[in-house]
Amino acid sequence: MKGMMIQGTASSVGKSILTTGLCRLFANKGYAIAPFKAQNMSGRSIVTRDGKEMSISQAQQAEAAGLPPSVLMNPVLLKPRENLQTEVMLLGEKRSIIPGQDYKQSYYDVAKQAIQGALNQLEQSYDFMLIEGAGSPVEMNLKDRDLANMAVAEMADVPVILVADIDRGGAFASIVGTLELLTTDERQRVKGLIINKFHGVVSSFASGREWLEDRTGISVLGVVPHTGHNLAEEDSVEGRGTTEARSTTDKPPDYDKLAEHLEAYIDWKKLLNIMTGENDVR
């Protein structure tokens, strides 16, 4: 499968925004690119034309790529409910509400099957898959049943780009720590780093870029300044634990503006080489 996966060192590092902008960037370059997030925990969703339900983030990514939203792009949607329960949507349809302790027995195998099936179908129709991870790929207490990060990269057999948020501090430690906790095989999938939400003059990060590349042996493919956007958030404080089905956001996002911003600060040609399998980008 041709494509790549955007993973983050933590939640809220900007994976969704980067994925959305890159969908539009590569679509504008003439490539048929499909967004994908295997498993999304979100209280916000949209209803597709065929009456199925998917995360609002993947719906926006589809729109950015010039595609109608499809539940194949978000085969598993987990909606938090009261009393530590989770409503499971598989391929846009409600299947069950499961308590946390029954995760492996009642959920893992069937969800993995749905994810692999969706990947196989999308692969047949598009030039590239742009896959978004969730949270961190090295939550060690969850890693054996993770269906959002490295397990999906392995299922799709795609390289990984690791994103860190420098605005919150600790970007160097989060990148090095994440790489250290990956297995050897997983680490070999990581083909590039992106520093996100940078404040100041990008050229001032030259020494930081050099340190990261020397320390990790992985190229920094972009240092992206913080930018405003009007993309809908997957979850908001007031929306947690509830379902909000909608077909559009209040104000249409400016996907072209976001794509132009990323093109100015990310080496998209090297990303393209990575997606096509020409991975030696140093």
Site of tokens 């956007």 = 229
Inside any domain, residue 112: yes
Inside any domain, residue 269: yes
Inside any domain, residue 213: yes
**pLDDT score recorded for residue 239:** 37
**pLDDT score recorded for residue 117:** 96
Site of tokens 């809220």 = 12
Inside any domain, residue 282: no
Q: Which range marks the domain in which residue 36 is found?
A: 3-276
Inside any domain, residue 140: yes
CATH number at residue 68: 3.40.50.300
Q: For the chain, how many structural domains are there in total?
A: 1
How would residue 247 be classed by pLDDT, with cut points 50, 70 and 90? very low
Q: Percentage of the chain surpassing pLDDT 70?
A: 88
> What does pLDDT average to over the chain?
89
Q: What is the pLDDT of residues 128-180, one digit of tens each?
A: 999 999 999 999 998 988 999 999 999 999 999 999 999 989 999 999 999 99
Inside any domain, residue 249: yes
Inside any domain, residue 72: yes
